[in-house]
Amino acid sequence: MTANVLSVRDMVVTFDDFVALDHVSVDVATGESFGIVGESGSGKSTLLRAVAGLNTFSAGTLSINGQSYSGRSRSKDFYRTVQMVFQDPYGSLHPRQTVDRLLLEPLAIHGFDNVDQRIMRALDEVGLGSGFRFRYSHQLSGGQRQRVAIARALILEPKVLLLDEPTSALDASIQAEILNLLEQARKDRGLTFVMVSHDLGVISHMCERLAVMKSGKVVETVTADALESRAFSADYTRQLMTASEGFRRV
């Protein structure tokens, strides 16, 4: 029985009067790839950001590796364990910093040694050669930027990777490359993934289990296999499945 590396119980997040998360509970086992699917306003990104400490939650509990966290305060240990890849490759890299500087920052904050070696290795791992090391982010394509974002997330050697729609802003062919890269990284490092997306195809490809969210609540949690064999119960899940199959002239 693998312990749960991430456990969320009855989490509530409100922004003024708007309830973004309404008593949401989610468990992710160590080494698992867990997906969260929903449309805009479902609260999927809010959940991820609350886990990361970027949003406060007003009620409920959060525990990572047995350690409890509340509000926005997270320990340095947390940041060594949990890292995040954001959605927008054009917004998640500092516009005035080179790739080298971007990768240096987490290492400097946590006092790592062998900085040069680590940076080179990180770039290699995401398929970017050393020629990219001193480029600025505006000199990189969307796919290259997302690779840098992944390198940055992995350079601290976390155990859990939170992925907020990592390929939504990318072209289909680039998406395939990035998804492959993520899968390879997961295999090599034994990572736990918590991936958020609106695309059922991407989630069912990358994840073993998934939660379907709507309007701040978890509608149901199914395995990817169950999704494929249409063995789900909720109406909304069925709606999402139909929608993902494309347009059909009535």
Q: Restricting to residues 106-125, name those near another protein by CB under 8 A.
A: 106, 109-110, 120
Min dist CB 84 to another protein, Å, is: 6
Min dist CB 17 to another protein, Å, is: 17
Min dist CB 1 to another protein, Å, is: 26
Min dist CB 153 to another protein, Å, is: 8
d(CA 235, CA 227): 13
Query: Where does 143-187 show beta strands of DSSP type E?
Result: 160-164
**Nearer residue to another protein within complex by CB, 23 or 159:** 159
- In the list 87, 144, 221, 237, the residue contacting another protein (rule: CB under 8 A) is 87
13 and 56 in contact (C-beta within 8 Å)? yes
Q: Is 29 exposed, middle or buried (0-12, 13-18, 19+ CB in 10 A)?
A: middle
- In the list 194, 200, 212, 222, the residue contacting another protein (rule: CB under 8 A) is 200
* 190: alpha, beta or left? (left if phi > 0; alpha if psi -120 to 50): left
- In the list 27, 183, 208, 220, the residue contacting another protein (rule: CB under 8 A) is 183
- In the list 8, 149, 154, 218, the residue contacting another protein (rule: CB under 8 A) is 149
d(CA 104, CA 209): 34
CB-based burial, 79-99: b 16+ in 10 Å, e otherwise: bebbbbbbbbbeebbeeeebb
Q: Report the site for another protein in 26-85 (rule: CB under 8 A).
A: 39-40, 49, 52-54, 74, 76, 78-79, 83-84
